[in-house]
Structure formats: structure tokens, C-alpha cells
Amino acid sequence: MKSNKKIIGIIVNPRKEKVHTPLESLDKWISQTKPDAEFILCTYNSIYVKKRYKNLPLVCEEEILNKSEVIVTLGGDGTILRTVHSIGSSEIPILGVNLGGLGFLAETAPDMLTSHLQAYLSNNYVIENRTMMKCHVEKTNYTFYAFNDIVIDKAGFSRVIEIETHIDECLLNSYIADALILSTPTGSTGYSLSAGGPIVIPQTNVFIVNPICPHSLTNRPVVVPDDSVISIKVFTEYKEVNVFRDGQMDKSYPSGASFVITKGEYPAKLIKTKEKGFYDTLRNKLLWGKDFRDKDHWSYKNFKE
């Protein structure tokens, strides 16, 4: 007889050393509480997962994507980004467990995993729809998606590049700069923030256009509606420019390449507990209200694994 239980997939970042502890706790919790759910585990052959778990049968990523009602990621924000791209248009919700550093997306601490799973199984949660960004490379059949940001970069060349940018066919600027970041609200706390961009609440229906090291002091980040059509044409004295999506290299393109960026047809879905909101995350992750003179608060060791 086919089980009607919810199937929860667990995806592990194979580079995280701390993954054994939450897996051990989860396996024990399943044995003790017998939740109304089945769990399946993908470790990508992590060297840090040194045992088999009674209640967490090993499967491949494809099986998790095909069977799971929800996916739990054990890693950091990068693990969520990779999983979002693997999910694609399936719109499977993700519960992120933070085994990494800052963790704006992966908000669940390892010791809160079982309680947050219980909250999910008790319907005590919310699902946030996060905007995806779609990029079509003109004069090709190639289209890709980004959850955080798309970056058009000068490819290590010493000279700046020109990035002609139109919004809904109206010229915004021909940026002379090292690069241009096109960010979703979710990505506003990532690379764009480091480059002087604004923090944007995730549910805001906008994109951020943010030049990196522009050759003009008057150039500043611009926030545009996410139903805009952003057209980009790039010129370089070098042989190519690089395009990155969500921190990963996409492809290199020749001078004169054109891109059209729009809102994606489907969202990414993140599971959030009702006890914690985005403002709490900002306050805690950015240490707002802390004494900046206290070196222990600002030490890099606080953000290391």
C-alpha cells in the first residue's frame, strides 16, 4: 500500500564538516517522535557523513526532487541557491539550515531543525514567494535564471567596460564601470549590499541596478519595478566580458553582447517560521544595536564555520 505521508528531502552540502550533528539529532528525533512524514537524504557522498542513519535512507538528488513535498538544506545560503536552481519551476519549498556564516536565507540554526520541522508538520509556518530573475541572451536560444543577482563583469581586464542600460526601452545610463549588478530583493543583502546598494525587503516588487566602481561619482544604485524590461548591451576593449549568476560563472560573451532581464515566470519558495521575521534577521545578522567598539562582536571568527 502506498504511503500518504509527506516526504521530506534532506540535501547536504558535502563540504560542511558540521553536518553530522544535525543529522544525528534528526535521526534520533524521528525514532522518538515518529512524525507523520518520511525522510530521504542526499549527501553527495560527503566525507563528513560517516554512517548510515536508520530513518534517513540515502537517495540521489533526482529522487529527492521528484518525490519531496519540501526540501531541507543543510549548509548555508549557497546550498539554498544551488537547490533553487535544481528545483527550477517545480516550486518545492525549501527550509534552510545554516551551517555556514552569515546566512540571510538559511535562517534555521542546527539546534532548531527538529522544532522547525515540527512547526512545519503542525502547519505553523509561512511560505515566502521570492522573485526570480530571468535573463535572455539576445540572438541566441539561451536563457538562465537567478535568485540573488546577475553580474556583468569586465573579466579581469584592467580597463573599465561600457554597459548601456535601458529600462522599458528608455535609456537609463551608459555606465562606465568595472561591472553591473542586477539584483532581486532577496539578493539585496548579498553582493549588491557590499557594493553600496540598498537593503530591500524580500516581498518588495523591485529590482536593483547597481554599478560597481562607476567612473562617475553621480552614479548610484537605482531601484526599478520588477515588471520592467531591463535591456543591457556591453562593450569592452578586451576580448570578452563575464556574466555570473548567484555567485557562479555563467558564460563569457564578446563585446556587443546584449541581454534582456525580466521577472521570472515562477518564484522560489522559502519556508519561514512564524516566530521570526526579516527585520529580526537583519538586526541579528548585521549586529544592529551592538557596540561597534567591542571587537568580539565584529571579529571575523564570528562568521567562520
Question: What pLDDT does 4 receive?
Answer: 75
CATH superfamily of 6-123+275-303: Probable inorganic polyphosphate/atp-NAD kinase; domain 1 (3.40.50.10330)
What CATH topology corresponds to 133-263?
Tumour Suppressor Smad4 (2.60.200)
Per-residue pLDDT tens digits for 189-208: 999 999 999 999 999 999 99
Q: What is the mean pLDDT of residues 167-182?
A: 97
Residues catalogued as catalytic? 77
Question: pLDDT-derived band of residue 305, with 50, 70 and 90 as boundaries?
Answer: very low
Residue 274 has pLDDT above 90, yes or no: no
**Backbone phi, then psi, for 237, in 5-degree steps?**
-80, -15
Q: What is the mean pLDDT of residues 246-266?
A: 97
Q: What is the mean pLDDT of residues 28-55?
A: 95
Question: What pLDDT does 156 receive?
Answer: 85
Per-residue pLDDT tens digits for 50-88: 899 999 999 999 999 999 999 999 999 999 999 999 999
In the chain, what are the domain boundaries? 6-123+275-303, 133-263
Domains 6-123+275-303 and 133-263 alike in fold = no
Measured distance CA(287)–CA(294) in Å, rounded: 11
* CA-based R_g, the chain, Å: 21
The DSSP string of the chain is ----SEEEEEEE-TT-GGGHHHHHHHHHHHHHH--SEEEEEE-TT-TT--S-BTTB-B--HHHHHHH-SEEEEEE-HHHHHHHHHHHGGG---EEEEE-SSS-SS--B-GGGHHHHHHHHHTT-EEEEEE--EEEEETTSS-EEEESSEEEEE-TT-SS-EEEEEEETTEEEEEEEESEEEEE-TGGGGTHHHHTTPPP--TT--EEEEEEES-SSTT---EEEETTS-EEEEEE-SSS-EEEEETTEEEEEE-TT-EEEEEE-SS-EEEEEETT--HHHHHHHHTTTTS-TT-HHHH-GGGG--
Q: What is the mean pLDDT of residues 216-220?
A: 90
| Contact residues for 284 (Cβ-Cβ < 8 A; gap 6+) | none
Q: What is the pTM of this model?
A: 0.89
The share of the chain scoring above pLDDT 90, in percent, equals 81
Q: What is the mean pLDDT of residues 86-111?
A: 90
Q: What is the mean pLDDT of residues 93-100?
A: 93
Measured distance CA(80)–CA(165) in Å, rounded: 30
- What are the beta bridge partners of residue 20? none
